[in-house]
Each structure stands twice: as structure tokens, then as C-alpha cells.
Amino acid sequence: MSHDTTAPLVIFDLDGTLIDTSPDLVASLNHTIAAEGLEPVTYDDLTHLVGQGVHMMITRAYAMRERALDEETRARLFNRFMDFYLGTMPGASKPYAGVLDALDRLEGAGMKLAVCTNKIESLTFPLLEKLGLKDRFGTITGGDTFAWRKPDARHILGTIEKAGASASRSIMIGDSVNDIAAAKNAAIPSIAVPFGYSDVPVATLDPSIIISHYDELTPALVTRLIGG
């Protein structure tokens, strides 16, 4: 019987999983679309808007308001969003309760940590940096790191490869269908958190397990889920 001794890799989604970015996403999007006379969105709308990056968030906001959006306007609004979000970062965004202790526990048990987010690198890196979290993760991949992103398995598999880890010793933790579907596509176990921006109850995504607080994220749980 072979025993894989590669260090386990715990891969975190960012928006709605590691960090509650909702106040700043809402503020930045509303600043952006107000310039074009669109009604502001609410926190509840975020579950339908977030998940596939800034361009898609703007596109979905327009669809929600049944307004047409041409390419030139979308490009201009993308820049407006970026300027505002980067200019106010980290704003009110903060790690969810218990995240920092959970990272300490996992690292203390010799586990590697990574971020795999659909947020583009030029937003992901400064946000993690400004929150003092960037150095906590050996590997960070964004929505534009590869030519594909979650739910494509290759986003997760590319993250695992960059981390020097193995898929059979990795686990994904996330808040939305993109994360849980990407984990399934990559054939790795998943943990869902119910406090993020999913537009459906996370139980319907069929993750390996749901945790409602980071106190539950222990080395023992990770070890059990990766089958070691």
C-alpha cells in the first residue's frame, strides 16, 4: 500500500469565503452604474451578480435592470469600477470570523494554504496585501491567472500544481456553485460555507461537507475529507 506524504493543500475561494467583501462590492458597483443612471443594487442582489468577475458583475447588473450594454460602455464601466474599488480598498472588507485562527491551525499542522479565486489578480493581490493576508498563502491564483477559471477544473488543478501539491491531498473551500462544481470537476473534496454569495442554498450544491463557522475547520476535518 502506498502512502502519499505530500503536505495537504487547503484551497480557499476569496469573495464570500475568506473575506466578506460585500460592502465594497456593492459600493463599487453602485458607484459605477450610478454614472449611467441605473438604480443601485442591494446586498441581496450580490448573490446573482458575483462569481465570474467584474465584467460579468456589470453585465448582470445591466441585465437585472433590463438595460442594454454595449462593449464601449462596459469597458468604460470596468475602468470606473476598478478605480473606485482599488481607491477605497480594503474599505470595510474583512476576513470572516475565525478565519485567521483556522489558517494558524492548518499551517501549524503542516498543511499548505492557497487561494483560488475568480477575482482578477489586480484586485486579489492588493486586497489580500492590504488585509495583511497575502503572505499567509503560498499560492494565489485569480480569474485571469490561467486561460480558464472556476468551475473549470483546470483552475484548481493549476493551483495545485503551482503549490507543488497533489490533487489526491487537496481540498477546496468555497461559497458558490463555481467552487463546488470546480472541486467536483477536479475530483477533489469540497467544503461549502453558507455565509457567502450563493444564489441557492449551498446544500443543493452537494459539497462533501458544510461548515457554518471557521471554528469547524480543523486539521482533523481536512485529513478526514482527503481520506488520509
Ligand X SMILES: O=C(O)COP(=O)(O)O
Q: What are phi and psi of 26, to 5 degrees?
A: -65, -45
Residue number with CB closer to ligand X (165 or 181): 181
Using the rule CB under 6 A, is 53 a contact of ligand X? yes
Using the rule CB under 6 A, is 157 a contact of ligand X? no
Question: Could you tell me if 198 and 180 are in contact, meaning their C-beta atoms sit under 8 angstroms apart?
Answer: no
83 is catalytic: no
Buried b (16+ CB within 10 A) or exposed e, 13-39: bbbbbbbbbbebbbbbbbbbbeebebe
Footprint (CB under 5 A) of Mg ion, residues 161-190: 175-176
Using the rule CB under 6 A, is 189 a contact of ligand X? no
Using the rule CB under 6 A, is 14 a contact of ligand X? yes
Residue number with CB closer to Mg ion (16 or 53): 16
For residue 164, the 8-state DSSP code is: T
For residue 196, the 8-state DSSP code is: S
Q: What are phi and psi of 185, to 5 degrees?
A: -60, -35
Instruction: Write down the catalytic residue from 4, 13, 104, 144.
Output: 13
Q: Is 94 helix (H, G, I), strand (E, B) or coil?
A: strand
Using the rule CB under 6 A, is 41 a contact of ligand X? no
Using the rule CB under 5 A, is 20 a contact of Mg ion? no
Using the rule CB under 6 A, is 142 a contact of ligand X? no
In which element (H, E) is residue 20 found?
strand 19-20
Among the listed ranges 44-52, 94-102, 183-191, 217-225, the one in contact with ligand X (CB under 6 A) is 44-52
**Residue ranges for the binding site for Mg(2+)?**
13, 15, 175
- C-alpha closest to that of 177 among 64, 4, 48, 61: 48
Using the rule CB under 6 A, is 118 a contact of ligand X? yes
Nearest residue to the partner Mg ion, using Cβ: 16
Closest distance between ligand X and the C-beta of residue 114, in Å? 12
**Residue ranges for the binding site?**
13, 15, 175
- C-alpha closest to that of 150 among 181, 171, 126: 181
Using the rule CB under 5 A, is 142 a contact of Mg ion? no
CA distance 57 to 202: 21
Q: Tell me the β-bridge partners of 141.
A: 116
Closest distance between ligand X and the C-beta of residue 181, in Å? 12
Candidate list 41, 50, 165, 183; residue touching ligand X; CB under 6 A: 50
Using the rule CB under 6 A, is 166 a contact of ligand X? no
Question: Could you tell me if 96 and 18 are in contact, meaning their C-beta atoms sit under 8 angstroms apart?
Answer: yes
Closest distance between ligand X and the C-beta of residue 227, in Å? 26
Residues taking part in catalysis: 13
Binding residues (CB under 6 A) for ligand X: these are 13-16, 50-53, 117-119, 176, 178
